[in-house]
Amino acid sequence: MPGFLLRAAFTVTLLTAGSGTAFAAGDPAAGKSVFQSTCSICHSVQPGQNKIGPTLSGVVGRKTGSVAGYTYSPQNQAANLTWDAATLDKYLEAPRAMIPGTKMTYGGLKDAQKRADLIAYLATLK
Amino acid sequence: MTRPACSMLWVALLPLVGLIVTARPAEAIPAFAQQTGQPCVSCHIGGYGPQLTPIGRAFKIGGYTQGGGEGLAASIPLSLMATTSFTNTASAVPADQIAQHYGANNNFSLDQVSGFIGGGIGQHSGGLMQFTWSDVANTSHVDNVDLRPYTTVFDVGGKELRIGTTLNNTPTVQDPYNTTFAWGFPYVLSALAPAPAANVMLAAGLGQSAIGYTLYAWYDNKFYLEGGAYSTLSPWTLTRMGNGFGIGSTTSPAPYLRAAYEWQWGNSAAHVGAMYMHADVNPATGPYATTDLAGADHYTDYAVDGSYQFLGDGTHIATVQAIYVHENQNLRATSSGSGFAAKYNLDQFRANVSYWYQNTYGVTLGWQKTWGPANPLLYAPGELTGSNNSKPNSNAFIIEADWVPFGKDTSLWAPYMNLKLGVQYTAYTQFNGGSDNYDGSGRNASDNNTLLVFAWMIF
């Protein structure tokens, strides 16, 4: 198996371990493309670089509303969630349904495979 | 008639042309909302274009390429817009100045119907093209064009540097800030009410009669730098596009420079900027004709602008925008044989403040002042549209109230349609050089005070 597929499989395994929820297997390479076409207008993947939205570097595993130097909505700060595969999947599908009042005005990524790919890519951002 | 005298007559007639082409709303198209998966409020103050939020600026500078929408609609780059209005002026226009098929006052009009092609092609190219038909002028033409042939992003020192190119047809149509002219307040104008004759080149001199080719850079979402030039199109091309010459035809590429710095903090954004443009033109002698018999006229514009936006959580939104332009005019060609001096200047200041509640109910106050010395070459006496003292001075206060019931992510038929209903009142204390009898035919500036009630729909 090529190296990148091994890494992808590993990433998906990590993301879904312990969640108790079945997710489609994500491809980080495809997820990077989704990020560039859908998210990059507002988000950077560089550590410490906030744009219109907070940096997504290290987003998997961190608490909601926790990026230094970014002004979150009160609802996002009060959400008290940890971004993992399950919470990201739910959020990316319909951000304002999960956290009403979030500053993220994007309507949501409805395609489950694209969400899985995107989450797999986000998991590589350390 | 000598050519310079002919060109002076054409310049004197320009305000008449302005009467029928001044309604110019655009750039809030549902095709963008469908492409990005974002509601109108993400990119536009008040949930309706053209005033941009930081996301809207990023989308525009990004070459209209950002995606995120899903389904068939996300890949259809077409939109349709219509604007209809009621116009009342304090005094009716003179009988010989009435637009064809309309009355002297209190007119309902279908100001324009526009079709748009807008969106991205892949991650590096995109654009916006508008085609407009006006029932007032009963003409159609190529309206705003802002194409981004190529844009890409580099990592420079851990910061993002976006480089891009534009091809456009009007100075400032590609600008990301609504302090400038192509997308500046007021965003809707009456197609029937008289408008002041004097305007700076950046605002009206080459609009839709030129092709602009510029290169821009955007560093760290803060520093914006753009440079390029404009060259007017040929009469053959302009005829087919339905547009005419403004101040004339360029004798060489007219340089255009723009710099701006933006801060974003908390729920606020602010910018300061500057612009420069210079053009050497053979003066226009008609919509599709210019003359080089007496050489060229020279226009140079210097502008500074700034804005502040408080976006909050979307409940209370406030904006402030301002721009000042100083223009040096060396009208060597137009003045030839006239006995008048060639050198003049023109100054213009525009400012507005707006408040929006829940991106639904808005009120905007605007102030526009234009001033300069008497210029008999450009501003001659003439009923309604002329200047009795040949001065360009105008002073207008504008108040507008708007209702935008749609444009949110929860709106009916979002993101396929949007609607703005508004009432606008413009009060003039000076018009074409004076307050009383400004045109030499007994009309006062306040006679042009205009009430505009409009409905602006887009699909």
How does pLDDT run across B143-186, given as a tens digit for each residue?
Answer: 999 999 999 999 998 889 999 999 999 999 999 999 999 999 99
Would an 8 Å CB–CB cutoff place B267 in contact with chain A? yes
pLDDT value of residue A23: 58
pLDDT value of residue A14: 43
Would an 8 Å CB–CB cutoff place A36 in contact with chain B? yes
Amino acid at B347: D
Which residues are CB-contacts of B297 (< 8 A; sequence separation ≥ 6)? B247, B248, B280, B281, B282, B283, B329, B330, B331, B332, B333, B334
Would an 8 Å CB–CB cutoff place B41 in contact with chain A? yes
Mark yes or no for CB contact B39/A46 under 8 Å.
no
pLDDT value of residue B147: 98
Provide the ipTM: 0.81
What's the average model confidence in pLDDT over A60-84?
93
What's the average model confidence in pLDDT over B323-342?
96
CA distance A38 to chain B (A): 4
What's the average model confidence in pLDDT over B212-222?
96
Q: What are phi and psi of A64, to 5 degrees?
A: -65, 145
Q: Residue B14 pLDDT > 70, yes or no? A: no
| Class level of CATH domain A3-17+24-122 | mainly alpha
* B71-118: pLDDT as tens digits: 888 888 999 999 999 999 999 999 998 998 999 999 999 999 999 999
CA distance A109 to chain B (A): 7
Pick the CATH number of B3-458 from 3.30.465.10, 1.10.443.10, 3.30.1740.10, 2.40.160.10: 2.40.160.10
Other CB atoms within 10 A of residue B152 CB: 12
What's the average model confidence in pLDDT over B282-309?
96
Would an 8 Å CB–CB cutoff place A82 in contact with chain B? no
DSSP label at residue A18: T
Most confident of the following: A1-10, B259-268, B408-417: B259-268
* B368-401: pLDDT as tens digits: 999 999 999 999 999 999 999 999 999 999 999 9
Q: Residue B24 pLDDT > 70, yes or no? A: no
Higher pLDDT, B295 or B411: B295
**pTM for the predicted model, two decimal places:** 0.90
pLDDT value of residue A24: 66
Rounded to a whole number of angstroms, the distance between the first and last alpha carbons of chain B is 49
Share of residues in chain A with pLDDT > 90 (%): 67
pLDDT mean across residues, chain B: 92
pLDDT value of residue B414: 78
pLDDT value of residue B416: 85
Q: How far apart are CA B321 and CA B426, in angstroms?
A: 18
Which residues are CB-contacts of B147 (< 8 A; sequence separation ≥ 6)? B126, B127, B128, B129, B166, B167, B168
User: What is the crossing angle of helices A85-93 and A112-122, to 10°?
Assistant: 130
Write down the domain spans for chain B.
Answer: 3-458
Other CB atoms within 10 A of residue A16 CB: 21
Q: How far apart are CA B90 and CA B457, in angstroms?
A: 27
